[in-house]
Amino acid sequence: MPILDRIAEFHADMTAWRRDIHAHPEMAFKEHRTSDFVAAKLTEFGIPIDRGLAGTGVVGTLRCGGGERAIALRADMDALPIHEKTGCAHASTNHGVMHACGHDGHTTMLLAAARYLADTRNFDGTVHFVFQPAEENECGGQAMVDAGLFTRFPVEAIYGMHNWPGVPVGAFAVRSGPIMAADDKFEITISSRGAHAAMPHLGDDPIVAAGALIGAIQTIASRTVDPQEGVVVSLTQMHGGNTWNVIPEEVVLRGTCRYFKSGLRQVLETALRRISEGVAATHGVRVSFTYRKPIPPAVNAEQPTGAAARAAALVAGEANVHRDLPPSMGCEDFAFMLAARPGCYIWIGNGPTADGRSLHSARYDFNDEILPLGASYWCTLVESVLPG
């Protein structure tokens, strides 16, 4: 496959950078060492930088020729609160924190692309290299947009890339329209008078109400939403009680809703509220309900997706660019950037998921074999979208 020669030449450098970042993972908004690493590399390549966007964010800006057009390429820098179990030589030295989503690889591939493009300057226009904090759970993408990412660095489109275990090495997958789901979060608190466990008739029971509610909530995806739509409503936490002989006064349920169409947000919130209040009335308990909408669906725009697919095909060959993979019910905070500007988020194959090499696993490790491939995609994208 035509990995760019010059990038292939610094595969060893890329591997060293990736493993260095991997050994020093940092949590959301605390990516200080990683941010310093990125800033130092960009400066070494002769690329002017802006620091401090959303705290640890870094933007490198490379201009070439007199062209007015500008695009942005984005990587994420943060790690996860996981205790690494890979046993590899470059394993995390930061106890309980791990690059288990491959953001070490994403940062490295974008740095390598910056180095190549600064060396070769074979394009006309402006490229902004966007390194964002806090992709996992903390909405660093939104923080970057709020901090003026697109007003300070105006672009016609922004592009993102994530490694994807299960897609073979040497392949990409991309699609127009939704590619990652929204992630809404809800909390239902059931309050009651509680009771002695042996005398339930003297109080009321939030645990029995919670049981009914858990069953009833399953009807939202199956009975309320159009079966043609992809929707998940998952309860993921249940807290209540602390001993054998007391019916508690409170049970808390928490969960997440995933979907691709923004219009479903209101449908799901309304249904959850209606069912919670109905079940509470049936059981004579009180209920309070909160619904947060932290991450919208990530929706790829048609034209940038065409450009991304063509660039991937130039690197990997047309047969290795999969355009029919279903979207993922996972979420991705690049969605905030895609909501603000047209763009495209592409998956690069990370190889088989065997031996725990799936995202967010304590045995996951980014596949260094794909570093030149991802960097070549970035550079090919820039040279084809902004031809020199």
Q: Smallest distance from the beta carbon of 245 to Zn ion, in angstroms?
A: 42
What CA–CA distance (Å, rounded) separates 244 from 207?
A: 13
Terminal C-alpha separation, the chain? 23
Residues 58-117 within binding reach of Zn ion (CB under 5 A):
101
CB of residue 10 to Zn ion, shortest distance in Å? 24
Q: Minimum Å distance from CB 347 to Zn ion?
A: 11
Cβ closest to Zn ion, residue 236 vs residue 243: 236
Residue nearest to Zn ion (CB): 101
- The smaller minimum CB distance to Zn ion, of residues 101 and 375, is found at 101
**Dist CA 190 CA 251 (whole Å):** 5
**Cα 80 to Cα 170: distance, rounded to the nearest angstrom:** 26
Provide the β-strand partners of residue 74. 130, 160
Q: How far is the CB of 148 from Zn ion (least distance, A)?
A: 24
The count of residues interacting with Zn ion (CB under 5 A) is: 1
CB closer to Zn ion, 184 vs 333: 333
Give the contact letters, 155-184, x = binds to Zn ion (CB under 5 A), - = no.
------------------------------
**Residue 142: CB minimum distance to Zn ion, A:** 16
CA distance 385 to 24: 34
Q: Which is nearer to Zn ion, 38 or 101 (CB)?
A: 101
Nearer to Zn ion, 271 or 337 (CB): 337
**Contacts of Zn ion in 135-154 (CB under 5 A):** none
Number of residues written out for the chain:
388
CB of 78 to Zn ion, least distance (A): 9
Count of alpha carbons within 13 angstroms of residue 121, beta-carbon side = 12
Q: How many CB atoms lie within 10 A of CB 252?
A: 16
Residues 189-208 that bind Zn ion (CB under 5 A): none
Residue closer to Zn ion (CB basis): 101 or 158: 101
- Other Cβ atoms less than 10 A from the Cβ of 213: the count is 25
Q: Alpha-carbon distance 338 to 74, whole Å?
A: 11
| Nearest CA among 37, 35, 65, 67 for reference residue 51 | 35
- Residues contributing to the site for Zn ion (CB under 5 A): 101
